[in-house]
């Protein structure tokens, strides 16, 4: 097993590494920096680089607390404006999903039995996804943790999720929580307050919602999100094979998903951004159903699409961005999620060393970025 210590990644980066044995920083060029500083590739000292730190199997959790200045999540005025501007600058719409399937966690990170009730499992997930987040800094605008994979670990999993969201925010990444909430009255208010309010105890930039209890269950989330500058993504036409069982049902000559899209138009218009014109109301619309996506786009021309189905689920990049529209730097109007293809690339299965695993993940990430970047230009 590789004796990982701490890896430092500046923005757009040159890789720097901490020795786990003596905690002294070194660069790939071998130059040492004084305590409290970090060298860049040419040996010069720079505190302005976007540093991300992960302590993997070091046994000294929290050793680097204080090296990073903690920043509370204080959103700017509008979720969609922030997201669109970041994606325009990066040139692609990739969103990386954090779905830590226990059976697929790489051997380098596995601890103990990896059973859900084993307290070491949550530590393994925390370390694995912490490293992933660090390697995403400066390369993607947003990540999407799936709450189910954390809830299955009980309170330890929720604690890990909270810490990972904080870590991502401190590193400049936006966080979309895939929780598919939706409920009536005070229950909906409680969910919205937990994640979307300005004083949320577990703040995220946006979250997914299930609308099938009725549009009144969306209202508290939309209101709280608007007040705090955050966003919502409502399930409309999902990518799973059984989505048509209900979503395609005929309702007075229209499919149910179309009725849902039509009903969300007012909320879309209420949440338009002043800079980009995009709405902080988003919708989930799978890449595997392009015809249905066009129907949704007709109903919601300013809604951001969260597009699942790309990557391991088989959809091509061109299909994933088909619902996007021309923008100043190419097609825009949503984010395309990829989870397993990034987290668990085939080439990483037998990685016996940290650098081999990092190379595999970086290659998978670059491939997705290149594919989607090309797709939005075609």
Whole-angstrom Cα distance, residue 272 to residue 242?
32
Whole-angstrom Cα distance, residue 86 to residue 93?
9
Structural contact between residues 281 and 231, judged by C-beta atoms closer than 8 angstroms:
yes
Structural contact between residues 133 and 167, judged by C-beta atoms closer than 8 angstroms:
yes
Whole-angstrom Cα distance, residue 296 to residue 239?
14
Angle between helix 219-228 and helix 185-195 axes, rounded to 10 deg: 30
Compute how many other C-beta atoms are within 10 angstroms of the C-beta atom of residue 70.
9
Phi, psi of 37 (to 5 degrees): -125, 165
Whole-angstrom Cα distance, residue 132 to residue 160?
14
Phi, psi of 335 (to 5 degrees): -130, 145
Is residue 275 annotated as a catalytic residue, yes or no? no
Structural contact between residues 172 and 141, judged by C-beta atoms closer than 8 angstroms:
no
H helices, E strands: number in the chain: 13, 16
Q: Which of 24, 144, 180, 237 is catalytic?
A: 180
- What residues act catalytically? 180
């Amino acid at each position: 097993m590789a004796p990982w210590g701490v890896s430092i990644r500046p923005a757009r980066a040159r890789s720097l590494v901490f020795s786990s044995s003596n905690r002294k920083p070194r660069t790939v060029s071998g130059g040492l920096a004084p305590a409290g500083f970090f060298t860049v590739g040419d040996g010069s000292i720079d505190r302005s680089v976007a540093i991300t730190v992960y302590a993997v199997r070091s046994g000294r959790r929290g050793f680097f607390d204080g090296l990073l200045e903690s920043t509370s999540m204080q959103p700017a005025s509008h979720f969609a404006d922030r997201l669109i501007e970041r994606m325009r600058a990066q040139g692609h719409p990739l969103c990386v999903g954090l779905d830590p399937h226990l059976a697929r966690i790489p051997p380098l990170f596995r601890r103990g039995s990896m059973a859900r009730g084993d307290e070491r499992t949550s530590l393994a997930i925390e370390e694995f996804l912490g490293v992933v987040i660090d390697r995403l800094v400066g390369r993607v605008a947003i990540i999407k943790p799936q709450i189910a994979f954390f809830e299955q670990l009980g309170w330890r999993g929720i604690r890990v999720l909270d810490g990972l969201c904080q870590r991502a925010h401190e590193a400049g990444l936006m966080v979309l929580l895939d929780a598919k909430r939706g409920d009536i009255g005070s229950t909906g208010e409680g969910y919205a307050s937990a994640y979307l309010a300005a004083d949320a105890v577990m703040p995220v930039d946006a979250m997914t919602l299930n609308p099938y209890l009725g549009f009144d269950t969306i209202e508290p989330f939309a209101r709280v999100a608007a007040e705090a500058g955050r966003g919502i993504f409502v399930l409309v036409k999902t990518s799973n094979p059984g989505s048509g069982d209900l979503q395609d049902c005929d309702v007075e000559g229209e499919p149910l998903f179309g009725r849902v899209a039509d009903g969300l138009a007012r909320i879309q218009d209420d949440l338009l951004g002043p800079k980009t014109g995009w709405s902080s109301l988003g919708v989930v619309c799978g890449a595997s159903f392009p015809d249905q996506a066009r129907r949704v786009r007709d109903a919601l021309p300013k809604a951001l699409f969260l597009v699942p189905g790309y990557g391991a689920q088989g959809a091509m990049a061109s299909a994933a961005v088909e619902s996007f529209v021309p923008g100043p730097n190419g097609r825009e109007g949503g984010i395309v999620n990829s989870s397993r293809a990034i987290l668990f690339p085939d080439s990483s299965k037998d990685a016996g060393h940290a650098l081999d695993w990092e190379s595999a993940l970086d290659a998978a990430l670059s491939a997705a970025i290149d594919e989607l970047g090309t797709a939005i230009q075609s």
